[in-house]
């Protein structure tokens, strides 16, 4: 990929800095520091623009803050000018840089995020059989943001950008934090995704062992030896009895196919495979690559286990046939409801107080839980009932499908998603509104699947 230059001509404009401020301050105008900055907005933006263009900007000292939920962290707050100038530096390049990320690594990407990743994982598990994805492993990088190396991060950004002013600004931001990069600002999210983007491509290619004959022979012999040493069942013994040549060919097929079921959410790496021995070797290579080439330690609590045991990730537990809420989150919701009921709050007041937890829970199979808590009748259910209305006569609501079912993603077979367009209709949306209060337009199509 060619590096991009001359980006500062797009960044160092009053319009870009103004858009950056309004983008950052959306929903924050009640804060005192935001109101003070906005009181003399034009002059403040002009000062920021001049500091960026002349390379005289220096990041303000951070204010540390302890966070105890969902786990203990130390995040750092920045001043409003810092947020504004970082937003301005990102606006022209953010979408372009994030388009270079692996599509199954959606953390911190606008329009994607946690639930996009959850849907991807569930679609893969429901589409593939247990035999195809029988084993899984989850690797967790220890204190990811704090262990990002400054020099490697600077080299990584230089592989994408060659504009000297923007590079100077990013280097100053990286070095403004003593160890790693700061947790809690927008620019850190982009840099954290960019830091591990090369690792994703290396992992998909089985860490390049097919490109080095000596390395390939070593890991091939390891696969044969480990298959024999770890044999425990009659099925595994039958595989070994087919001979060393068969095991070598099996290993060769795995390497050629690559890690077809690899995904990453921030610092959580998930790999699924049908062969436990091969998966263990890939874990060794992953840990070796992370510690040697990226200087990132991996927590030692990883374990290879069958997928039917479930994978606890992002607040949910993933199975082939269902998505469950994490037990800790379920208990926290029940305890919060019980505590509020003891205080004498009404059901409506409890719903409002627990809205964020309930909104997170409804994506999993929690219908019975919400019914027990008397929270099954919510606004979201009303909206979903509106969406169930069939757009064409003679159709039922159960025949409706999401547009995501029609999109052909990477590694999907286009022949399986060919459709014949029969009819279409453009009508007002019952959910989404424009800024002036009018209804947005939506399109519905009637199609037939082509066999």
Dist CA 237 CA 231 (whole Å): 6
- Contact between residue 267 and residue 138 where contact means Cβ atoms under 8 Å apart: no
pLDDT band of residue 393 (cuts 50, 70, 90) is confident
- What DSSP element (H or E) covers 216? helix 213-229
- Contact between residue 204 and residue 261 where contact means Cβ atoms under 8 Å apart: no
Burial 246-261 (b: 16+ CB within 10 A, else e): ebeebbeebbeeebeb
Q: Which of 99, 252, 75, 270 has its CA nearest to residue 190?
A: 99
Counting residues of the chain whose pLDDT is more than 70, the rounded percentage is 93
pLDDT digits (tens, 9 = 90+) for 171-223: 999 999 988 999 888 899 999 999 999 999 999 999 999 999 999 999 999 99
pLDDT digits (tens, 9 = 90+) for 145-183: 999 999 999 999 999 999 999 999 999 999 999 889 998
Only one residue has tokens 């209709």, namely: 425
pLDDT value of residue 384: 56
Give 354-395 as a DSSP string.
THHHHHHHTTSS-HHHHHHTT--S-HHHHHHHHHTS-SSTT-
pLDDT digits (tens, 9 = 90+) for 282-333: 999 999 999 999 999 999 999 999 999 999 999 999 999 899 999 999 999 9
What does pLDDT average to over the chain? 88
- Contact between residue 282 and residue 207 where contact means Cβ atoms under 8 Å apart: yes
Q: Mean pLDDT lowest for which of 13-22, 349-358, 432-441?
A: 432-441
**What is the pLDDT averaged over residues 228-248?**
91
Rounding to the nearest 10 degrees, give the CA dihedral for residues 292, 293, 299, 305: -100
pLDDT digits (tens, 9 = 90+) for 3-32: 888 899 999 999 999 999 999 998 888 899
Please name every residue paired with 335 in a beta bridge, in sequence order, or none if there are none.
none
- What DSSP element (H or E) covers 239? helix 234-240
Dist CA 24 CA 85 (whole Å): 10
Dist CA 12 CA 56 (whole Å): 14
- Contact between residue 73 and residue 183 where contact means Cβ atoms under 8 Å apart: yes
Dist CA 5 CA 1 (whole Å): 13
pLDDT value of residue 411: 61
pLDDT value of residue 329: 92
pLDDT value of residue 219: 95
Query: Measured between alpha carbons, how far is residue 413 from residues 135, 195, 255, 418 in Å?
Result: 24, 31, 21, 10
- Contact between residue 161 and residue 4 where contact means Cβ atoms under 8 Å apart: yes
Higher-pLDDT residue of 417, 236: 236
Dist CA 365 CA 429 (whole Å): 28
pLDDT value of residue 424: 83
pLDDT value of residue 108: 83
pLDDT band of residue 40 (cuts 50, 70, 90) is very high
**What is the pLDDT averaged over residues 224-229?**
94
pLDDT band of residue 79 (cuts 50, 70, 90) is very high
**What is the pLDDT averaged over residues 421-449?**
78
């Amino acid at each position: 990929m060619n590096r991009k230059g001359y980006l500062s001509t797009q960044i160092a404009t009053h319009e870009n800095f103004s858009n950056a401020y309004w983008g950052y301050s959306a929903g924050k105008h009640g804060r005192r520091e935001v109101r003070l900055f906005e009181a003399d907005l034009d002059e403040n933006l002009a000062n920021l623009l001049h500091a960026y263009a002349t390379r005289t900007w220096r990041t303000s000292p951070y204010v540390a803050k302890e966070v105890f939920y969902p786990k203990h962290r130390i995040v750092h707050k920045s001043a409003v000018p810092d947020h504004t100038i970082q937003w301005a530096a990102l606006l022209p390049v953010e979408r372009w840089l994030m388009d270079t990320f692996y599509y199954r690594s959606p953390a911190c990407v606008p329009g994607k995020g946690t639930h996009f990743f959850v849907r991807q994982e569930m679609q893969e598990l429901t589409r593939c059989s247990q035999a195809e994805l029988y084993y899984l492993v989850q690797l967790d990088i220890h204190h990811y943001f704090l262990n990002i190396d400054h020099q490697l991060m600077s080299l990584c950004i230089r592989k994408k950008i060659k504009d000297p002013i923007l590079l100077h600004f990013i280097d100053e931001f990286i070095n403004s934090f003593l160890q790693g990069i700061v947790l809690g600002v927008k620019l850190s999210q982009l840099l954290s995704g960019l830091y591990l983007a090369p690792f994703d491509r290396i992992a998909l290619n089985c860490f390049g062992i097919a490109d080095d004959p000596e390395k390939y022979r070593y890991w091939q012999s390891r696969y044969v030896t480990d298959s024999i040493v770890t044999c425990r069942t009659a099925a595994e013994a039958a595989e070994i009895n087919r001979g060393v040549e068969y095991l070598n060919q099996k290993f060769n097929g795995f390497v050629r196919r690559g890690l077809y079921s690899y995904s990453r959410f921030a610092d959580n790496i998930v790999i699924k495979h049908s062969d436990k021995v091969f998966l263990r070797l890939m874990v060794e290579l992953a840990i070796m690559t992370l510690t040697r080439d990226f200087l990132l330690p991996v927590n030692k609590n990883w374990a290879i286990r069958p997928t039917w045991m479930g994978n606890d990730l992002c607040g949910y537990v993933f199975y082939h046939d269902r998505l469950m809420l994490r037990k800790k989150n379920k208990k926290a919701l029940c305890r919060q409801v019980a505590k509020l009921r003891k205080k004498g709050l009404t059901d409506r007041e409890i719903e409002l107080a627990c809205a964020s937890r309930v909104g997170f829970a409804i994506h999993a199979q929690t219908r019975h839980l919400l019914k027990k808590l008397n929270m099954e009748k919510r606004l979201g259910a009303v909206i979903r009932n509106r969406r169930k209305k069939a757009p064409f006569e003679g159709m039922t609501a159960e025949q409706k499908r999401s547009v995501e079912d029609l999109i052909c993603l990477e590694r999907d077979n286009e022949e399986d998603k060919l459709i014949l367009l029969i009819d279409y209709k453009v009508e007002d949306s019952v959910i989404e509104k424009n800024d002036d209060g009018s209804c947005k337009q939506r399109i519905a199509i009637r199609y037939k699947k082509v066999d």
